[in-house]
């Protein structure tokens, strides 16, 4: 009964449904509806179960109701029949928030009506009231939202990359990829699939959709519709922009720009409009966000780097001199893949949260200075005391936040508050 659950409750009541609300914990009333504790009895007599994205569809209590023939869907599938306009869906392990926000920015700057939401900001059910015919719904979509869709349909769908993530939920990389693939399996002839030509899993989705595939590539593959060469992005064979004109940094963000450019082009934006809008787009909060520079040291907040691959991309965006903060709630990840990049670029790894010991055990004997900080505040203080001019203190945890924080946004806000306190002499 968090944000998406409340949005689903409101939509169902607006459409005339008799709604019952359940949660793992007792909560009193939400929107005038008493929230019951989540038990089999609480679900008895329901005609439809709507689960929030954070609720695993394989829970025993949900298997029981499915066995009785009761459909179980997510908030995205619930909203699907009621969303007016044309849907654009963006998924991927990393970069989907930036790409979704950038796509919305380009469309708005190009005079194309749109609204942005999904896994970013506004839940799909809350977007129904503001959806209009002739308007695009630009939706960031997670594997949790996509695994339960049956009829949700995106006219333009994009997958940026698929790397190991959420194995605590999907168990295998293939299971995770299959959830992402649902976005393309519900597309039709005449739709468009925007895919990463350099990512083998993403590329395989072309064979799982009836849509026309268009491709982007960071390695100038000859079959791509958008590619990166040196410092320039090309679109359909013509130079679109110089990445040095962007406020985003890192090769992974240049790939996000290419994906957004292809999406916007398919939605009707002109290349000149795309280039001008991309140059004015500011990095999304908690995504390689420069907090400030203090005494010659730069402090970056990448709290959204909740996977090993996202952290790897964050490390790649810097030349070296990193004091990197890792840790949080483990997602059954393999942290050894970070060792090579950390050896090259990190002065120290500061470990926090529940996953600290696992990360330490996997990075031990890799020639890395590991500091057991415990908390974010302690890690920042240790980096503050030791970093030298030209260094970078980077929060890119490679873990979920739920051991010490409500979500990655709270973790990022706390980091920024701590950094800004340093600027005034605070401890």
Quick: pLDDT tens for 338-372. Answer: 999 999 999 999 999 999 999 999 999 888 999 99
C-alpha span between 282 and 104 (Å, rounded): 13
Residue-level pLDDT at 164:
63
Residue-level pLDDT at 166:
60
Residues facing residue 54 across a β-bridge: none
Residue-level pLDDT at 426:
42
**What is the arithmetic mean of pLDDT over 388-407?**
95
Structurally, the chain folds into a number of domains equal to 3
Please report how the helices 271-279 and 96-109 are oriented relative to each other, as an axis angle in degrees rounded to 10.
120
Assign residue 189 a region: left if phi > 0, alpha if psi is -120 to 50, beta otherwise?
beta
Indicate the residue among 279, 312, 330 that finishes a domain: 279
At residue 275, the 3 state secondary structure works out as: helix
Residue-level pLDDT at 98:
92
Residue 148: phi and psi, rounded to 5, are -110, 10
Per-residue pLDDT at 184 exceeds 90: yes
Mark whether 275 and 309 lie in a shared domain. Answer: no
Residue-level pLDDT at 356:
97
Residue-level pLDDT at 159:
98
Asked whether 312 and 335 are in contact (CB, 8 A), the reply is: no
Residue-level pLDDT at 156:
98
Considering the domain boundaries, does residue 212 fall inside one? yes
Mark whether 19 and 57 lie in a shared domain. Answer: yes
Considering the domain boundaries, does residue 321 fall inside one? yes
12: pLDDT confidence band, cut at 50, 70 and 90?
very high
Long-range CB contacts (< 8 A, 24+ apart) of 412-415? 412/285, 412/286, 412/289, 412/301, 412/303, 412/304, 414/376, 415/291, 415/301, 415/303, 415/376, 415/380
CA dist 275 → 158, 242, 271 (Å): 19, 9, 6
**Residue 419 neighbours by CB under 8 Å, 6+ apart:** 291, 292, 294, 299, 301, 380, 393
Residue-level pLDDT at 424:
54
C-alpha span between 297 and 207 (Å, rounded): 47
Q: Is 25 exposed, middle or buried (0-12, 13-18, 19+ CB in 10 A)?
A: exposed
Asked whether 132 and 85 are in contact (CB, 8 A), the reply is: yes
**What is the arithmetic mean of pLDDT over 170-184?**
87
Mark whether 54 and 113 lie in a shared domain. Answer: no
Considering the domain boundaries, does residue 427 fall inside one? no
Considering the domain boundaries, does residue 190 fall inside one? yes
By mean pLDDT, which of 19-23, 52-56, 376-380 is the weakest? 52-56
Mark whether 119 and 36 lie in a shared domain. Answer: no
Q: What is the pTM of this model?
A: 0.80
How many CB atoms are located within 10 Å of the residue 172 CB? Answer: 10
Mark whether 401 and 368 lie in a shared domain. Answer: yes
Per-residue pLDDT at 94 exceeds 90: no
Residue-level pLDDT at 399:
96
Residue-level pLDDT at 169:
60
76: pLDDT confidence band, cut at 50, 70 and 90?
very high
CA neighbours closer than 13 Å in the CB half-sphere of residue 424: 6
Residue-level pLDDT at 330:
94
Considering the domain boundaries, does residue 194 fall inside one? yes
C-alpha span between 30 and 21 (Å, rounded): 8
Q: What is the CATH number of the domain that holds 304?
A: 3.90.190.20
Mark whether 31 and 145 lie in a shared domain. Answer: no
Give percent of the chain above pLDDT 70.
Answer: 97
Considering the domain boundaries, does residue 284 fall inside one? no
Considering the domain boundaries, does residue 358 fall inside one? yes
Residue-level pLDDT at 300:
95
Residue-level pLDDT at 221:
75
Residue-level pLDDT at 170:
54
Mark whether 60 and 82 lie in a shared domain. Answer: no
Mark whether 304 and 374 lie in a shared domain. Answer: yes
C-alpha span between 254 and 245 (Å, rounded): 11
Buried b (16+ CB within 10 A) or exposed e, 373-403: beebbebbbbbbeebeeebbbbbbbbbbbbe
**What is the arithmetic mean of pLDDT over 2-22?**
94
**Among 289, 322, 319, 323, which Cα is nearest to 304's?**
289
Per-residue pLDDT at 10 exceeds 60: yes
Indicate the residue among 279, 306, 332 that finishes a domain: 279
The catalytic residues are 96, 119, 166
Indicate the residue among 256, 279, 302 that finishes a domain: 279
Residue-level pLDDT at 168:
60
Residues facing residue 214 across a β-bridge: 194
**What is the arithmetic mean of pLDDT over 162-188?**
83
**Among 414, 410, 415, which Cα is nearest to 393's?**
415
Mark whether 143 and 59 lie in a shared domain. Answer: no
Residue-level pLDDT at 175:
86
Mark whether 218 and 351 lie in a shared domain. Answer: no
CA dist 286 → 153, 289, 348, 372 (Å): 29, 6, 21, 23
**What is the arithmetic mean of pLDDT over 106-126?**
95
End-to-end CA distance of the chain: 37
50: pLDDT confidence band, cut at 50, 70 and 90?
very high
Residue-level pLDDT at 77:
96
Residue-level pLDDT at 427:
40
Please report how the helices 251-266 and 271-279 are oriented relative to each other, as an axis angle in degrees rounded to 10.
140
Structure tokens at 391: 């260094």
CA 251 centroid distance within chain: 17
Residue-level pLDDT at 26:
77
C-alpha span between 60 and 270 (Å, rounded): 50
C-alpha span between 284 and 240 (Å, rounded): 22
**What is the arithmetic mean of pLDDT over 71-94?**
96
Residue 102: phi and psi, rounded to 5, are -65, -40
Considering the domain boundaries, does residue 165 fall inside one? yes
Mark whether 105 and 236 lie in a shared domain. Answer: yes
Q: Is 139 exposed, middle or buried (0-12, 13-18, 19+ CB in 10 A)?
A: buried
328: pLDDT confidence band, cut at 50, 70 and 90?
very high
How many CB atoms are located within 10 Å of the residue 294 CB? Answer: 15
Per-residue pLDDT at 289 exceeds 70: yes
Mark whether 63 and 84 lie in a shared domain. Answer: no
**What is the arithmetic mean of pLDDT over 141-153?**
93
Per-residue pLDDT at 106 exceeds 50: yes
pLDDT in tens, 194-208: 999 999 999 999 999
250: pLDDT confidence band, cut at 50, 70 and 90?
confident
Structure tokens at 402: 């739920």
Range of the domain at 28: 3-70
Mean pLDDT taken over the chain: 93
Length of the chain: 427
Q: What is the CATH number of the domain that holds 161?
A: 3.40.1190.10
C-alpha span between 297 and 285 (Å, rounded): 20
Residue-level pLDDT at 121:
82
**Among 324, 329, 310, which Cα is nearest to 399's?**
329
Residue-level pLDDT at 120:
83
Per-residue pLDDT at 19 exceeds 50: yes
**What is the arithmetic mean of pLDDT over 262-282?**
97
């Amino acid at each position: 009964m968090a944000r998406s659950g409340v949005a689903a409750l409101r939509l169902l009541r607006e459409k005339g449904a008799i709604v019952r609300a359940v949660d793992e914990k007792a909560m009193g009333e939400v929107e005038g509806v008493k929230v019951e504790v989540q038990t089999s009895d609480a679900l008895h007599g329901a005609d439809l179960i709507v689960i929030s994205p954070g609720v695993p569809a394989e829970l025993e209590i949900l298997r029981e109701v499915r066995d009785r023939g009761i459909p179980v869907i997510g908030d995205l599938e619930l909203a699907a029949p009621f969303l007016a306009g044309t849907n654009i869906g963006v998924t991927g392990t990393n970069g989907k928030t930036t790409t979704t926000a950038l796509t919305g920015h380009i469309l708005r700057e190009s005079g194309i009506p749109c609204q942005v939401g999904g896994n970013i900001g506004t839940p799909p059910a809350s977007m129904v009231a503001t959806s209009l015919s002739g308007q695009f719904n630009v939706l960031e979509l997670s594997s949790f939202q996509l695994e339960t869709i049956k009829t949700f349909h995106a006219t333009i769908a994009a997958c940026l990359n698929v790397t190991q993530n959420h194995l605590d939920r999907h168990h295998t990389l293939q299971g995770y990829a299959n959830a992402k693939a649902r976005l393309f399996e519900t597309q039709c002839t005449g739709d468009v699939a925007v895919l990463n030509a350099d990512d083998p899993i993403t590329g395989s989705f072309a064979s799982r959709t009836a849509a026309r595939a268009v491709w982007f590539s960071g390695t100038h593959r000859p079959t791509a519709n958008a590619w990166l060469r040196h410092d320039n992005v090309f679109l359909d064979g013509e130079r679109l922009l110089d990445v040095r004109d962007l406020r985003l940094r890192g090769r992974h963000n240049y790939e996000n720009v290419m994906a957004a450019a292809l999406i916007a082009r398919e939605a009707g934006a002109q290349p000149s409009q795309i280039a001008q809008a991309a140059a004015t787009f500011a990095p999304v909060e908690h995504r390689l966000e420069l907090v400030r520079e203090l005494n010659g040291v730069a402090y970056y907040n990448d709290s959204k780097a909740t996977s090993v691959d996202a952290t790897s991309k964050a490390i790649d965006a810097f030349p070296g001199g990193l004091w990197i903060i890792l840790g949080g709630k483990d997602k059954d990840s393999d942290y050894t893949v970070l060792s090579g990049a950390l050896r090259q670029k990190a002065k120290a790894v500061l470990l926090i949260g529940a996953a600290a010991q696992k990360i330490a055990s996997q990075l031990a004997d890799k020639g890395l200075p590991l500091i057991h900080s415990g908390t974010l505040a302690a890690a920042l203080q240790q980096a503050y005391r030791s970093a030298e001019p030209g260094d970078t203190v980077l929060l890119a945890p490679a873990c979920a936040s739920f051991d010490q924080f409500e979500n990655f946004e709270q973790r990022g806000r706390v980091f920024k508050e701590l950094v800004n306190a340093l600027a005034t002499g605070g401890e």
